[in-house]
Amino acid sequence: MCGRYCRNGLSQPHYGRYGAPMQEIKIADLREPQRDAAEQQIYDMALGMEVDLDPAVLVAAAERRTGMSGFEDPTLLDRLAAQAVAVDADAGLSGLGRFLVRQRLVGLLAARLRFEDFVRRHPEALEVELEPPVIVVGLPRSGTTHLVNLLATDRRFRSLPWWEVQEPVPVLGDGPGRDGVDPRYLRALREHEMTQQVSPLTALMHDRPPSSIEEECELMDLDLCTYVLEWSARVPAWRDHAETLDQHGHYAFLRRQLQVLSYLRGPNRWVLKCPQHLERLGPLMATFPDATVALTLRDPVAVLQSAITMLAYGDRNRRVEVEADELAAYWADRVERLLRAGVRDAHLVPEAQRVDVEFGEFMSDDVAMAERIVGTAGMEITDECRAGLAEYVAGNPRGKDGKVVYDLRGDFGLEPDELYERYAFYFEAFPQVRREVH
């Protein structure tokens, strides 16, 4: 399954809830990667790359890519500078890691230029009336992706596939080919195929095929305001700077983006998801006061071990050293920040508009949970809705391609009991959450 790109201990297959064998995979070299010749070549290339993250250079690259210039919001460049400074302070990032950051920032700036140009040419797009959305909120790795993909099978919802996240507004004059396929989809497909080659286990932990429904956090980052950068580099300076921003303006920008995307193709009732909404419930509910919020609740220790294992696996190429202990310490703190804000502000979601999605209950009957959310949103559970849910669940059983085995103690030197003490406030606020790690 993993080819030459990892060293794994493979156990006997277990069986998932649908009866199919599920291979367990242990990444034995997570802390200290053992590379074959091909992997070493990629690593050596990563070390040797020199990448300039000067904001002026990034802006110039976006302007060349689009043939457009000038941003309507001058504060965008302030946030760009803050991100660049934070990344430059990360001495452990390899040249490839810096290149990936550069590629992403230039892509965001180019997408922002195209968005602003589209609104200038089509101001009527901002007159689109959005219907009350359904918004999935919860820690990363807590079932949010499965839930939003499940809900998105209901065609009454507008959702955000990965190919559209990457390029929200079409390139001017870049229409579908003779096969009717959007070229943005084809570009996303090529990137997905490359990721599967270079980082094969990523698909087991968080696969992103072009059609997968993804989160608006990436969409919001056209305004350079989210924590997405923290998943690519160790940037505490950016984390702290982002906490000082007035998020109400950034959420207003998100609403405008949703209007434009609904103008390009409907419907106008969105199903959304973003883990970072957990620490921004005030601006979220001020912007979407009629939203139905599905609040995913999962053991944060299980979330943490999943997240840092995925990050450490990616760090074998984007960092000089994996530095697993430092990674674990950063994200143990980051998860706590998200949780404390969520516990503090959960009351801002009206009780009649909130569905608590406890992870164990969700996994035992995901269709019933999806139907509960649709019903809470005031929508009828139609035969078409039921058929879409059943088809998705049948085609996407949990762990269908294998399951990564986590080891908090061995890979990261963390004691689960100590983490449970740290996160005790969360279990007190949501006593239905079940402990998963022992």
| Percentage of the residues of the chain whose pLDDT score is greater than 70 | 89
Average pLDDT over residues 11-38: 68
Residue 155 is assigned to a structural domain of this protein: yes
Average pLDDT over residues 348-369: 97
Residue 178 is assigned to a structural domain of this protein: no
Write the CATH number for 351: 3.40.50.300
Choose the weakest-confidence range: 70-79, 170-179, 306-315. Answer: 170-179
Q: Which residue has the higher pLDDT, 14 or 239?
A: 239
Average pLDDT over residues 298-322: 95
Choose the weakest-confidence range: 27-36, 179-188, 229-238, 333-342. Answer: 179-188
- Mean pLDDT over each residue of the chain, to the nearest integer: 90
User: What does the H/E/C string look like for 313-338?
Assistant: HHHHHHECCCCHHHHHHHHHHHHHHH
Specify whether the CB–CB gap between 319 and 30 falls below 8 A. no
Residue 155: predicted pLDDT: 94
Residue 421 is assigned to a structural domain of this protein: yes
Q: What is the DSSP string of 99-149?
A: HHHHHHHHHHHHHHHHHHHHHHH-GGGGGPPPEEEEEEE--TTSSHHHHHH
Q: Which domain holds residue 241?
A: 3-169+212-219+230-429
Query: SS3 for 215?
Result: coil
Average pLDDT over residues 175-191: 76
Confidence band, pLDDT 50/70/90 cuts, at residue 400:
low
Residue 83 is assigned to a structural domain of this protein: yes
**Cα–Cα distance, 160 to 150 (Å, whole number):** 13
pLDDT digits (tens, 9 = 90+) for 187-243: 888 876 777 666 666 655 566 788 889 899 989 999 999 999 999 999 999 999 999
Closest CA to 354 of 156, 149, 135: 135
Residue 13 is assigned to a structural domain of this protein: yes
Query: SS3 for 356?
Result: strand
Residue 17 is assigned to a structural domain of this protein: yes
Average pLDDT over residues 402-408: 87
Confidence band, pLDDT 50/70/90 cuts, at residue 396:
confident
Side chain identity, residue 339: L
Residue 205 is assigned to a structural domain of this protein: no
**Cα–Cα distance, 378 to 356 (Å, whole number):** 16
Specify whether the CB–CB gap between 328 and 168 falls below 8 A. no
Count how many domains the chain has.
1
Average pLDDT over residues 258-262: 97
Average pLDDT over residues 30-44: 89
* pLDDT reading at 13 higher than 50: no
Specify whether the CB–CB gap between 379 and 157 falls below 8 A. no
Average pLDDT over residues 317-339: 96
* pLDDT reading at 132 higher than 70: yes
Residue 192 is assigned to a structural domain of this protein: no
- The residues that bridge with 102 in the sheet, in sequence order, are none
